[in-house]
């Protein structure tokens, strides 16, 4: 009897994972949250970098653009380009960043996504615990987050416990969408955030990778 063709292994081929580069401002709040999220999604190729200057959106975007450009030639980046690049930024209040609009334009020119919060990233964290409807300064949002002691957040303390945020993400994302739907001036409306777009994308990729 002649030898037949070798049997092929069954099963669908696993989808290729998208490489994601995230630049955030040099504050520990964003860093601790994103590192906690990355630990939950172990196996996903996520690189988190702190920007060069805290509070300067254009500097953050330009640093991300340079990293994106050099990645295919960089040993640190495995000589591989990133499929998605994100900058996590704040509008700030009561005085918005004067060069924010320029930073957003430059991000679009380089194909960089922006996860933006008005007034600040702490709003996104706060939405995990409660609805936020009225105007808040950055300082007021930080004080409100301090009241939720389970996350360990303190304005003068360089620490954030990610674990309380994990199960509350669906609520936070839903509240963020409600804020955007009600916003008459887009990200210039306070409160406003679209950090959920970044997080939802990573969670969806993790679900796809698990099959």
In what order do the strands lie in the sheet containing 113-118?
46-50, 20-24, 84-90, 113-118, 192-193
70-106 pLDDT, tens per residue?
Answer: 999 998 888 899 999 999 999 999 999 999 999 999 9
Give the per-residue pLDDT at 89: 96
Q: Is the predicted pLDDT of residue 199 greater than 80, yes or no?
A: yes
Greater model confidence, 2 or 111: 111
> How would you class 110 by CB atoms within 10 Å of its CB: exposed for 0-12, middle for 13-18, buried for 19 or more?
middle
Give me the torsion for CA of 104, 109, 111, 112, rounded to 10°.
Answer: -30
56-78 pLDDT, tens per residue?
Answer: 899 999 999 999 999 999 988 88
**Which residues have a Cβ under 8 Å from the Cβ of 102 and sit 6 or more positions away?**
57, 58
116-159 pLDDT, tens per residue?
Answer: 999 999 999 999 999 999 999 999 999 999 999 999 998 877 78
Predicted TM-score (pTM) of this structure? 0.90
User: Are the CB atoms for 23 and 51 separated by under 8 Å?
Assistant: yes
The domains of the chain are located at: 20-210
The pair of structure tokens assigned to 58 is: 């254009």
Please give the average per-residue pLDDT across 1-11, as a whole number.
Answer: 48
**Which residues have a Cβ under 8 Å from the Cβ of 4 and sit 6 or more positions away?**
none
């Amino acid at each position: 009897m002649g030898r037949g063709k070798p049997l092929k292994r069954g099963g669908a081929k696993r989808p290729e994972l998208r490489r994601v580069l995230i630049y955030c401002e040099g504050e520990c709040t964003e860093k601790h949250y994103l590192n906690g999220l990355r630990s939950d999604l172990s196996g996903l190729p996520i690189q988190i970098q702190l920007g060069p200057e805290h509070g300067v959106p254009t500097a953050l975007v330009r640093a991300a653009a340079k990293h994106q450009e050099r990645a295919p030639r960089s040993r640190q980046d495995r000589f591989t380009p990133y499929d998605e690049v994100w900058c996590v930024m704040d509008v700030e209040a009561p005085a918005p960043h004067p060069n924010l609009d320029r930073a957003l334009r430059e991000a679009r020119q380089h194909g960089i996504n922006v996860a933006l919060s008005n007034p600040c990233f702490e709003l996104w964290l706060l939405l995990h615990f409660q609805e936020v409807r009225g105007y808040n300064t950055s300082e007021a949002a930080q004080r409100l987050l301090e009241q939720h002691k389970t996350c360990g957040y303190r304005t003068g303390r360089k620490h954030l416990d990610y674990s309380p945020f994990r199960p509350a993400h669906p609520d936070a994302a839903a509240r963020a969408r409600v804020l955007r739907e009600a916003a008459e001036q887009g990200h210039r409306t306070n409160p406003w955030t679209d950090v959920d777009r970044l997080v939802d994308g990573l969670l969806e990729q993790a679900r796809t990778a698990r099959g």
